[in-house]
Structure 1
Amino acid sequence: MADERTIILHYHLFKNAGTSVDAILKRNFGDRWVTREFPVRGGNNTALVEDWIRETPEAVAYSSHTMVGPLPRVEGVRVISFLLLRDPIERIRSAYRFERTQAADTWGARLAKELDFEGYVRARLDRPGDRQCRNFQTHRLASMVPGAGTELERAQAAIRQLSVVGLVSDLGAAMADLARLYSGESRGFGATDVRANQSRGLGSEIISPEFAELLRDANCLDMSLVRSRTKARLANH
Structure 2
Amino acid sequence: MNSNHVLIHYHIFKNAGSSVDASLRHSFGDRWGTFEGRHAHAILSSDQLAAFMAVNTHLSAISSHLARPPLPTPYCLPVVFLRHPLLRAYSVYQYTRMDSSQPFSDVALTLSFSDYIRWALRKESGSIVIRDYQVVHLSDASWRGGDILKAVATQADLEQARDLLSNWGMAGIVEEFELSTAVFQSKYSKYLPELEFLPKWDNATSRETASLSDRLDQLRQMLGDGLYGDFMEANSLDLDLHAHAQALLHSEADSIAAPSTM
Tell me if both proteins adopt one fold, taking TM over 0.5 as the criterion.
yes
The whole-number CA distance in structure 2 between the counterparts of 1:185 and 1:37 is 25
2:246 aligns with: 230
Paired residues for 1:64-213 under 5 Å: 64-73=64-73, 78-104=75-101, 106=103, 108-126=104-122, 127=124, 130-143=127-140, 150-162=156-168, 164-185=170-191, 187-200=193-206, 203=215, 206-213=222-229
TM-score relative to the length of structure 2: 0.78
Q: Secondary structure at the match of 1:63?
A: strand
For residues 16 and 186 of structure 1, do their structure 2 counterparts lie closer, same or farther at Cα, with a shift above 3 Å needed? closer
Stretch of structure 1 that moved more, 60-69 or 119-128: 119-128
**CA-CA distance at 1:180 after TM superposition:** 2.4
Structure 1, unpaired ranges of 5+: none
**CA-CA distance at 1:142 after TM superposition:** 1.4
Stretch of structure 1 that moved more, 119-128 or 90-99: 119-128
The whole-number CA distance in structure 2 between the counterparts of 1:198 and 1:145 is 26
2:148 aligns with: none
2:54 aligns with: 54
Identity within the alignment, %: 26
RMSD of aligned Cα (Å): 2.7
The amino acid that maps onto 1:80 is L
Alpha-carbon deviations, 1:18-76, whole Å to 9, x = none? Answer: 000000110111111101213666x6622211111111111111000011243212xxx
For residues 235 and 51 of structure 1, do their structure 2 counterparts lie closer, same or farther at Cα, with a shift above 3 Å needed? closer
The amino acid that maps onto 1:47 is D
Q: Secondary structure at the match of 2:171?
A: strand
Provide the aligned length of Structure 1 versus Structure 2: 231
TM-score relative to the length of structure 1: 0.86
Alpha-carbon deviations, 1:85-122, whole Å to 9, x = none? Answer: 1101000000000001113263x200001111121122
The whole-number CA distance in structure 2 between the counterparts of 1:14 and 1:82 is 14
For residues 129 and 19 of structure 1, do their structure 2 counterparts lie closer, same or farther at Cα, with a shift above 3 Å needed? closer
The whole-number CA distance in structure 2 between the counterparts of 1:116 and 1:168 is 24
The whole-number CA distance in structure 2 between the counterparts of 1:230 and 1:131 is 23
The whole-number CA distance in structure 1 between the counterparts of 2:101 and 2:249 is 38
Asked if the contact 2:166–2:248 (Cα under 8 Å) also holds between the matched residues in 1, the reply is: no
**CA-CA distance at 1:137 after TM superposition:** 0.5
The amino acid that maps onto 1:162 is W
Structure 2, unpaired ranges of 5+: 145-153, 209-214, 255-262
2:4 aligns with: 5
The whole-number CA distance in structure 2 between the counterparts of 1:201 and 1:194 is 11
For residues 129 and 69 of structure 1, do their structure 2 counterparts lie closer, same or farther at Cα, with a shift above 3 Å needed? farther
The whole-number CA distance in structure 2 between the counterparts of 1:187 and 1:92 is 35
The amino acid that maps onto 2:50 is E
1:217 aligns with: 233
The whole-number CA distance in structure 1 between the counterparts of 2:21 and 2:207 is 23
The amino acid that maps onto 1:234 is H
Asked if the contact 2:8–2:63 (Cα under 8 Å) also holds between the matched residues in 1, the reply is: yes
The amino acid that maps onto 1:229 is A
